[in-house]
Amino acid sequence: AQSVSQHNHHVILSEAASLELGCNYSYGGTVNLFWYVQYPGQHLQLLLKYFSGDPLVKGIKGFEAEFIKSKFSFNLRKPSVQWSDTAEYFCAVNDKGGGNKLTFGTGTQLKVEL
Amino acid sequence: SQTIHQWPATLVQPVGSPLSLECTVEGTSNPNLYWYRQAAGRGLQLLFYSVGIGQISSEVPQNLSASRPQDRQFILSSKKLLLSDSGFYLCAWSVARSYEQYFGPGTRLTVT
C-alpha cells in the first residue's frame, strides 16, 4: 500500500519567512498528488494538486509545490508566509486499488508568529 | 454547486451506547463517499469508502460500520461505543473516477 511521510510535524516561522514542507511517498507508479490545508475551525480544503504536466504547480494563497519523480517528493513552498497561514497541512497521494482512495501524511502544524 | 453536510457537529456518548453519524452531499450524483478518522499527529485514517448505493468497503477492522442507503447519504454507525472510538470523524466525497476529494466539517465524538 501507498505510504506518505511528512517529516516536519511542527513548524514555527516568523511572518515573511519562507516555507518549505516536505512530503515523500512510496508508490512509484502514476501518482496524483495533493496538499490540503485545515485552518483553525475550518473544513479541510484543497490547496493544490498535481495530476500530470508541469511538475511545478501553483495553488491558492501563493502556495506552490514541486513534483520530483526521482525523489518521490511533492514539497510545498511559499516564499513569504503570513500569520493567516497558520494551519495544519496534509499531503496526500492516490492509493492503489478501487475507490479512488487517498493516503494522507500525518500532517504538519504550521504556526506563523507576528 | 456541491455541498457536504455532517451532523452532529459534536457528540458526547457513554461507553457501550450506539452511534450514528450522518453525511449528505448535495449538487452531485453518484459520488464516491469516504469516512475518515483524524487523530492529532496521526493524519487521516480512511475507515470506509463507497462507490455506490449499498456498496461499502472497509479499510480498517474495528468497532464501526458504514452504510449508504441513498446515493448521497453515508452513515457511520456503531452498536456499542468504546473509549478508543473518540476522535474527529470526517466525511468526504469525490466525483467517480477522480481522486480529488472534498471534505465536510467533521464530527467531534467523545466517548466517556
Tell me, what amino acid is at A59? G
pLDDT of residue A14: 97
Pairing of strands B10-13, B32-39: unpaired
State how far residue B80 is from chain A, nearest Cα, in angstroms: 28
Using CA coordinates, name the residue in chain A closest to B42.
A106
Judge whether A59 is closer than 8 Å to chain B, CB to CB. no
DSSP letter string over A12-65? Answer: EEETT--EEE--EE---SS--EEEEEE-TTS-EEEEEEE-SS-SEEE-GGG-EE
Q: In the numeric block, which cell numbers belong to residue B21? A: 453519524
For residue B97, the tally of other CB atoms under 10 A from its CB is 8
Give the pLDDT confidence of B49-90 residue by residue, as tens digits.
Answer: 999 999 999 988 788 999 999 999 999 999 999 999 999 999
Is A44 in CB contact (< 8 Å) with chain B?
A: yes
Distance from A56 to chain B by nearest Cα, in Å? 18
For A44-80, write each residue's pLDDT tens digit.
999 999 999 999 999 999 999 999 999 999 999 999 9
Q: What is the mean pLDDT of residues B12-35?
A: 96
CA distance A100 to B92: 12
Average pLDDT over residues A25-40: 90
Q: What is the total residue count of chain A?
A: 114
